[in-house]
Structure 1
Amino acid sequence: MGILTFEEAIFESNRISKRHLLLGNGFSIACRPNIFVYGKLYEQADFSKLSPTAKAVFETLKTQDFERVIKALRDTKAVLEAYGLAPQSFLDTLQADADGLRELLVETIANSHPAWPGEILEEEYAACRDFLSNFNTIYTFNYDLLLYWTQMHVEEGVAPNSDDGFRKSSDDYDASYVVWEPSQSHEQNMWFLHGALHVFDSEVEVQKYTWLNTGVRLIHQIRNALDRGLFPLFVSEGTSAEKLARIRHSDYLAKAYRSFSEITGALFIYGHSLAENDEHYLKRIEKGKISQLYIGLYGDPNSDANKLITRRADLMSNNRRRGAPLSISYFDSASAKVWGR
């Protein structure tokens, strides 16, 4: 199996009209390997400071979604209060567990994410922007802010060349946030397929809080939003089926899903292992319209991990039933030098 350098893959793909990029967790790990690690927030969270019942609710509901559990605890407390069926001590336990999980969520995010954009070096931003400039549309599975920070990190007076679809609210132009509407996403070229930490679901609209508008660091933004009952819009469920169910219940996530399903031309995948828990998107590649797939491999192409990737990639090509055949090439992820190294 021949392995291209990233530069060779880009040169080869110049014959195709459009190039798209799909990012996985390896994009963030390449930037800060000591902070970003594989695994869900649930797996990284330290439950030792909470009561045993708080973690038990995850198991009872068969979920790893913090938002679902916190809301379940709050709703249970409200219902029991309305019926007057529970002693105050039990209601206090429900409230304490909900509050404790909320703080644990903030703490876990804080421990796995840079606090503000200035922690990324100028040369790192420059190298990453150079990498991203090769693509028409960028999709990411990551809900951290590295991609967003990079795209927004331009010289003063220079407009970013990316569009995440968020605009000033027509109902409150001076609000500290911007909003997303399906009608204003036609030019959008940056999509967070599983949501993002700076995007919040207020039930009536999807809001994005930014450093520029608020001057408030990410972790404080998240804590303030949680205090108001808002949760970051991100998919933290474990299986592909659970993720897809969450996606279908959000305007933003569902539109991102449809956008990815419609892309044509070439798709580059960087930092993703084609893992089973993202099968809902891998199937979109199989059944989609792209004609050329470039997959980044890290390290020895014959390693067990890379063999799993190539095996799943072969299935994609073999399962293409309609439209143009799907050709697959591989490139050396390290040669992309996404963050300048």
Structure 2
Amino acid sequence: MIITFNEAIEQSAAYSKRHAILGNGFSIACRADIFHYGSLFDEADFSSCPEVKAVFSELGTQDFEAAIRALEGAAKILPAYVKDGDGAGEKMRAHASALKEILVKTIASNHPATPSEVSDLQFNKCRIFLANFLGQGGQIFTLNYDLLLYWTLMHDDDTDFGQVEINTNDGFGNDEDDPDADYVVWQGEVGAHNACVHFLHGALHLFDSGSELKKYTWVRTNRPLIEQIREAINVDTFPVFVSEGSSDQKKKKIRHNAYLYQGYKQLTANAVQSKHCFFIFGHSLAENDDHILNRLARGRFAHLFVGIYGDPDSDENKRIRKRAYEMTGMRHYKSPMEVTFFDAGSAEVWG
């Protein structure tokens, strides 16, 4: 049975806190022409490694992470089957790395230039959606790299559409050594305990300077964020960005970055709270994010609400539902997890 988003929210009122995990569907719902993998593939510049287009073709996909995963996996086993395969394997690894940079550049170059390209009504609708979590003491964990969530959190609600109260704390604040800097910095693990918004796989506006994690802002520079980001990328300064092929590779990168790992720990800490519940919106429950899904499956919270978009009986939605039920089977018998599916379209996240 598929219920509406509002019915899911009503059911979740039985729990002390509700949290949300946002996947790429959150951004696609706003701008499918930009954030869908197919759109990114069409806009990507593969001139630095033209052979990789054949990888996408052979896999029958336009999913960058799937191509990266295939290249890295093939590079490991090729020497066992092909004489002098080490050279080809090294090239595959280089192309996998190149694909990660191509993905970042493509998102940045095609990203809406300013928040004004999203209407006030859309931002208001999205803030109403987020308020179900951030207005109720819950937290948002996003797997997206783009600026849409950040723009929504920062959006001024002084419009004809009313005020929406949400907690926007993401753990960043003034640099104590340079409080007037044109950026803010992550406040570390202690400050992060009060954060309620976590970019689990990094984001376009987060840059690791070596000594600190910086968050680019508009309010301190009066320059569009995406303009600052594009300039940084053009000089080969890349944002914190987890686009590794497999779940294990993603988890390894997360563990080696203090900010990402703190978000991962916050997810884990909430997943073991028996009186909490989680919503998954815009995510396909794909295995390359098992480092996230397994934390939920092995947690102790009582109820998981999973968004389904489109025909519930489509092959993709059948796969998602099967995967969700498999997650319930990973639970300890003393902490069972109920799964409920809701119609993602009924959330009307962007109006």
Do both share a fold (TM > 0.5)? Answer: yes
1:43 and 1:321 mapped to 2: Cα distance? Answer: 45
Q: Structure 1 residues 251, 4: closer, same or farther in 2, change over 3 A?
A: same
Q: Residues 41 and 236 of structure 1 are in contact (CA less than 8 Å); yes or no, is this contact kept in structure 2?
A: no
1:251-295 deviation digits (Å, cap 9, x = unpaired): 001111111111131100010000111111111011112210000
Is 1:132 aligned to residue 130 of structure 2?
yes
Provide the residue aligned with 2:255 in structure 1: 248
User: In structure 2, which of residues 166, 173, 186 is the aligned counterpart of residue 167 of structure 1?
Assistant: 173
Query: If each structure's strand is expressed as a fraction of its own residues, which one has the higher value?
Result: 1
Q: Structure 1 residues 269, 58: closer, same or farther in 2, change over 3 A?
A: farther
Q: Structure 1 residues 225, 46: closer, same or farther in 2, change over 3 A?
A: closer
- What is the CA distance between 1:201 and its match in structure 2? 0.6
Q: Residues 266 and 293 of structure 1 are in contact (CA less than 8 Å); yes or no, is this contact kept in structure 2?
A: yes
Is 1:64 aligned to residue 70 of structure 2?
no
Letter in 1 for 2:228: Q
Q: TM-score, normalised by structure 2?
A: 0.79
Q: Structure 1 residues 250, 297: closer, same or farther in 2, change over 3 A?
A: same
Q: Structure 1 residues 54, 30: closer, same or farther in 2, change over 3 A?
A: closer
Q: Structure 1 residues 24, 211: closer, same or farther in 2, change over 3 A?
A: same
1:13 and 1:45 mapped to 2: Cα distance? Answer: 41
Give runs of aligned pairs for residues 28-39 of structure 1, distance below 5 A.
28-38=27-37
1:52 and 1:329 mapped to 2: Cα distance? Answer: 44
SS of residue paired to 1:338: coil
Give runs of aligned pairs for residues 1-341 of structure 1, distance below 5 A.
2-38=1-37, 45-48=44-47, 50=48, 59-61=91-93, 64-66=96-98, 107-135=105-133, 136-155=138-157, 161-180=167-186, 181-226=188-233, 230-263=237-270, 264=273, 265-321=276-332, 323-340=334-351
Q: Structure 1 residues 118, 40: closer, same or farther in 2, change over 3 A?
A: closer
1:192 and 1:168 mapped to 2: Cα distance? Answer: 19
1:186-242 deviation digits (Å, cap 9, x = unpaired): 110000010000000111110000111122223321233346663201111121111
Segment drifting more, 3-12 vs 215-224 = 215-224
User: Identity of aligned pairs, percent?
Assistant: 49
Q: Residues 26 and 271 of structure 1 are in contact (CA less than 8 Å); yes or no, is this contact kept in structure 2?
A: yes
Q: Structure 1 residues 152, 242: closer, same or farther in 2, change over 3 A?
A: same
Letter in 2 for 1:194: H
Aligned pair count? 303
- What is the CA distance between 1:38 and its match in structure 2? 2.8
SS of residue paired to 1:289: coil
SS of residue paired to 2:170: coil
1:306 and 1:106 mapped to 2: Cα distance? Answer: 28
- What is the CA distance between 1:63 and its match in structure 2? 6.2
Q: Structure 1 residues 246, 307: closer, same or farther in 2, change over 3 A?
A: same
Letter in 1 for 2:283: H
- What is the CA distance between 1:30 and its match in structure 2? 0.4
Q: Structure 1 residues 326, 54: closer, same or farther in 2, change over 3 A?
A: closer
Letter in 2 for 1:29: I
- What is the CA distance between 1:61 and its match in structure 2? 2.3
SS of residue paired to 1:231: coil
1:115 and 1:281 mapped to 2: Cα distance? Answer: 31
1:132 and 1:51 mapped to 2: Cα distance? Answer: 40
Q: Structure 1 residues 145, 51: closer, same or farther in 2, change over 3 A?
A: closer
- What is the CA distance between 1:60 and its match in structure 2? 3.6
Letter in 2 for 1:217: P
- What is the CA distance between 1:62 and its match in structure 2? 5.8
Q: Which runs of 5 or more structure 2 residues have no equivalent in the other structure? A: 54-87
1:11 and 1:301 mapped to 2: Cα distance? Answer: 21
SS of residue paired to 1:175: coil
Q: TM-score, normalised by structure 1?
A: 0.82
Q: Structure 1 residues 269, 106: closer, same or farther in 2, change over 3 A?
A: closer
Q: Residues 152 and 160 of structure 1 are in contact (CA less than 8 Å); yes or no, is this contact kept in structure 2?
A: no
Segment drifting more, 239-248 vs 57-66 = 57-66
Letter in 1 for 2:179: Y
2:121 and 2:249 mapped to 1: Cα distance? Answer: 39
2:89 and 2:42 mapped to 1: Cα distance? Answer: 15
1:107 and 1:226 mapped to 2: Cα distance? Answer: 7
Q: Which runs of 5 or more structure 1 residues have no equivalent in the other structure? A: 69-100
Letter in 2 for 1:38: Y
Q: Residues 166 and 179 of structure 1 are in contact (CA less than 8 Å); yes or no, is this contact kept in structure 2?
A: yes
SS of residue paired to 1:142: coil
- What is the CA distance between 1:155 and its match in structure 2? 3.9
Segment drifting more, 188-197 vs 215-224 = 215-224
- What is the CA distance between 1:109 and its match in structure 2? 2.3
